[in-house]
Structure 1
Amino acid sequence: MQAAIAFILVFGSIVFFHELGHFIFAKRSGILVREFAIGFGPKIIGITRGETLYTVRLLPMGGYVRMAGEDMDTVELQPGYRIGFLLNDQDEITRIVLNQNKQLPDMLFLEVEKADLLKGLWVEGYDEEEQLVRYNVARDAVIEENGKDTIIAPYERTFDAKSLPKRAMTIFAGPLFNFILAVVFFIIIALVQGMPTNEPLIANVVPGSPAQQAGIQKDDVIIGANGEKIEKYEELSEIIKDNKNKEIKLNVQRGDEKVTLGVTPKLNKDKVVQIGIQYANKYEKNPLKAISYGFEQTYNWFIKIAELLGLLVTGHFTLDALSGPVGIYKATEEVAQYGFMTLMNWAAVLSINLGIMNLLPLPALDGGRLLFFAYEAVRGRPIDKQKEGVVHFVGFALLMILMIAVTWNDIQKFFF
């Protein structure tokens, strides 16, 4: 139960913030957002607020923000349609009912001759007295079909009607919010738990190691090596790595005195150049440094994940290196055992990973859509919508196949 709750908190939060980025920038651009969904597949929960349906769906494989104009969601009133409709005080149509057997108070009927529900916002047809009439349609009119209400989307409220920068920013905002979420998580960790100082303070010396032979002791602080100032243990680790079988002159702070020791790094049984020391874990709390720490950690993890992704592309990693929802669930289960701060750190790394993956220039991903926008910017006009739709459909299908393969691989790995 604890693992399930941890998974829902971690995966739910990073997917929610990803979609929140799309949602906020779509709203700021004036785009009608039809649905804000967490998950795919059958709907579990659905609540309508304003013009947007908020849903939680069965399959925890992501989420989506469905915007007007993206999925050919415009209802077309074809000639010969018989519709019922309601008027407001300005004689504008406010509700169009496509269920011919439904009767509402004050409902009028019309046999459609022509209609424009996108730009002109009007319907023309023959009334019950067979006279040709035309009615304007209210901008917030609702079309009812089989008990389902759909708000019409005037052209200027559709995704395609917006400028290229607004469309690009709406799509890019998803990954951007993943990176922002990671920054926030790392800042919270720094404020609550503190930031590792990475001070080269010796916590332990391995018996028989080069460090012990050189006279290095517990609680020593390495302040210099080969004439270079040392402030973080990563700096000392680099010097050790670059000086295999070569003596290093270490400047050591031991209590109130300073001593100089000579140590020669050697290869250990794991073929790693080392001198046989363990560093102490010291933490500090500083609100100002916490902010920079959040950005630094996000940047460092971004680089690490990008490098691993590069190895995957070049064939150095196989399918076994990938994890789907099942693999993430198992990893989250293990991480949750080490406490809430460790779980939050894991969530931050996953959020960065989701942001990077979505920026890949592949069909059906945010990066693929941004690639089409770049093509539009160079070409001066967008690519044909049907062609783009086919590319994204094929890309989505291949993505689902990959997801199924990765999930099956996870199931075999963890349960067989």
Structure 2
Amino acid sequence: MKGILAFIFIFGVIVVIHEFGHFYFAKKAGILVREFAIGMGPKIFAHTGKDGTAYTIRILPLGGYVRMAGWGEDKTEIKTGTPASLTLNSDGIVIRINLSGKGFDVNSLPMNVTGFDFEDRLEITGLVLDETKTYKVDHDATIVEEDGTEVRIAPLDVQYQNATIWGRLMTNFAGPMNNFILGVLAFILLMFMQGGVADTSSNQVTVVEGSALAAAGLETGDKILSVNGQVTDSYADISKMIGQAVQDASSAPKFDLLVEQDGTEKNVSVTAKQEDGTYRLGVSPILKTGVLDKIIGGVQQAGVTALMIVTALKNLIASFDVKQLGGPVAIYSVSNQAAQDGWMSIIGLMAMLSINVGIFNLIPIPALDGGKIVMNILEGIRRKPLKPETESYITLAGVAIMVVLMLVVTWNDIMRVFF
């Protein structure tokens, strides 16, 4: 159960923060956000804000999505003959179209729809008491869809395609950008949770309770000046010396240390303890505990993580092997392990995965944000948009690639985790 909850928390936060980036900058660009959903599947709660956005919570707590007017597959479709109820204002203009078959307004007008245009002419046509009638539709009218979700109609002037190139570019980039911001903030939080940032440039060390060093009388804050006669000016030196000694040891290695404790130097002999199949002294870097140190440390850790991910991605492209990829099943597996290790592991995993999602989404595949950004840039260079048909074909090709990749990755995950 802990593993499932950790997976939902990590995956949910990453996706919702990603989608909030699209949501915020879409609104800034003048694009109508018809729905901001937390979760997937059937809705269990809905509220329409003054901004015209339907805020919904859906039953499957896995991520969420933003539904922008004219973006992707966002279309309003009403089949000929569909029964609807129209709510009109005092001027006889339609302000609400209800297709759900329930929740009718008391004074609503029943109609069987035969035609509509909610983008340009803003009108709806249908049979009312066996007579064909056409009504004007208000620019900000709402439509209650068959599943009961009430959203604004999407006239052309508030659609994604009619925003400026800069507005669309920022809308597409904002999702990955928010993932990077979340990753940085999560790493900063992790530094505060662990009490500080490791200082590998100092030979002052942290001593693990119950370790071989603790048994020998060393305490956190002591300095290790040399290991087996070799001077150690930093923790990197200490780690290297210890690592070399235990690497191929067949029995517990013994270390002669020169340490400084409370300003006094003394020689200490320590025999390593065997833990988890290796020999350990129980030493780690001293922590820098200043507030600024923690903030800088979090930012630096985010940068190191991003560089590692980019390097791994570059190596993957240079020598592609699907077995190196991981999907939702793999994320669940590592989330389950993180849940066993506690909140610090969960926050650390979320930070790493958030940066990973941000970088992955910037890959220039049409179905991803990176592909949309490339099309925005091409449109800016050409000074005219791509033909809608061309853009649709490119997007469909990208979706096909992603679907095939996801199926292969999921199968690979299942084989790796369960077999």
With the shorter chain as reference, the TM-score category is 0.7 to 0.9
Which residue of structure 1 lines up, in the alignment, with residue 54 of structure 2? Answer: 52
- Contact kept? 1:15, 1:38, Cα under 8 Å: no
Which residue number in structure 2 is paired with residue 342 of structure 1? 345
Q: Tell me the amino acid that sits aligned with residue 280 of structure 1.
A: S
Q: CA 1:235 to 1:300, structure 2 compared with 1: closer, same or farther past 3 Å?
A: farther
Query: For structure 1, which segment, 42-51 or 174-183, has the greater mean C-alpha deviation from structure 2 after superposition?
Result: 42-51
1:157 and 2:161 correspond? no
From the superposition, tell whether residues 74 and 184 of structure 1 become closer, same or farther in structure 2 (CA, over 3 Å). Answer: same
Quote the residue 2:293 is aligned against. Answer: 289
User: Which of 329, 332, 335 is the aligned partner of 2:332?
Assistant: 329
Deviation at 1:364, TM superposition (A): 0.8
The answer to whether residue 372 in structure 2 is matched with residue 369 in structure 1 is yes
Q: CA RMSD in A?
A: 4.1
CA distance in 1, matches of 2:343, 2:78: 55
Distance in 1, Cα, partners of 2:10 & 2:80: 51
Structure-2 residue corresponding to 1:167: 168
Aligned positions, number: 368
**What's the CA shift string for 1:105-158, capped at 9, x where partnerless?**
544578989864224434579987979x87542222123565744421222221
Partner of 1:265: none
Aligned to 2:198: 196
Q: Give CA deviations for 1:267-315 in whole Å, capped at 9, x if unaligned.
A: xxxxxxxxx9986332232112222222211111111110000000000
Deviations 1:222-264 (Å, cap 9, x if unpaired)?
7xxxx9x966638996xx99xxxxxxxxxx98565899xxxxx
Task: Give the distance between the partners of 1:371 and 1:165, measured in 2 at CA.
Answer: 12
Correspondence for 1:31 = 31
3-state SS in 2 of match to 1:280? strand
2:214 corresponds to = none
Matched, 1:178 2:182: no
* Amino acid corresponding to residue 380 of structure 2 in structure 1: A
How far off its partner does 1:357 sit? 0.5
Aligned position for 1:43? 42
Structure 2 residue corresponding to 1:384, chosen from 384, 387, 391: 387
The question of whether the paired residues in 1 share the 8 Å contact of 2:43 and 2:56 is answered with no
Q: Name the SS of the counterpart of 1:156 in structure 2.
A: helix
Contact 1:202 1:277 in 2 (8 A): no
Seq. identity, %:
34
Could you say what secondary structure the match of 1:281 adopts? strand
Letter in 1 for 2:295: I
Q: 1:2 to 1:152 in 2, by over 3 A?
A: same
Q: Quick one: distance in 1 between partners of 2:411 and 2:311?
A: 26
Unaligned runs of 5+ in 2: 208-221, 245-257, 267-279
Instruction: Confirm or deny that 1:360 pairs with 2:359.
Output: no
Q: Distance in 2 between matches of 1:94 and 1:360?
A: 42
CA distance in 2, matches of 1:102, 1:348: 44
Is 1:312 aligned with 2:316? yes
Cα 1:77–1:17, aligned 2, differ >3 Å: closer, same or farther? Answer: closer
What secondary structure is seen at the aligned counterpart in 2 of 1:153?
coil
SS in structure 2 at match of 1:200: coil
Cα distance change, pair 83–235 in 1 and its aligned pair in 2 (3 A): same
Deviations 1:304-351 (A, max 9, x none): 110000000000x52221111111111122233322112211110111
**Maintained 8 Å contact 1:32/1:157:** yes
State the TM-score, normalizing by the size of structure 2: 0.73
The equivalent of 1:17 in structure 2 is 17
Structure 2 residue matching 1:376: 3-state secondary structure: helix
With over 3 angstroms needed to count, the CA separation of the structure-2 counterparts of 1:101 and 1:368, relative to structure 1, is closer
Structure-1 separation of matches of 2:100 and 2:283: 74
* Superposed counterparts of 1:268-279, under 5 Å: none
Distance verdict in 2 for CA 1:375–1:188, change over 3 Å = same
| Alignment pair present for 1:394 and 2:397 | yes
**Equivalent residue for 2:277?**
none
Contact persistence 1:78–1:115 (CA under 8 A) = no
CA distance in 1, matches of 2:136, 2:206: 79
- Deviation, 1:93, is 1.7
CA spacing shift, 1:75–1:234, aligned 2, 3 Å: farther
330 and 171 in structure 1: CA distance in 2 versus 1, 3 angstrom threshold: same
1:298 has 2:302 as partner: yes
What is the TM-score of this pair, normalised by structure 1? Answer: 0.74
In 1: Cα distance, 2:333 partner to 2:27 partner? 36
Gaps of 5+ in 1: 205-217, 242-251, 260-275
1:155-208: per-residue Cα shift (whole Å, max 9, x none)? 22211111111111111111111111111111112223221122234789xxxx
Aligned CA distance change for structure 1 residues 59 and 375 (closer, same or farther; 3 Å):
farther
- Distance 1:104-1:178 versus aligned 2 partners, 3 A rule: closer
Distance 1:59 1:392 in 2: 27
Specify the SS of the correspondent of 1:288: helix
**Structure 1 equivalent of residue 2 of structure 2:** 2
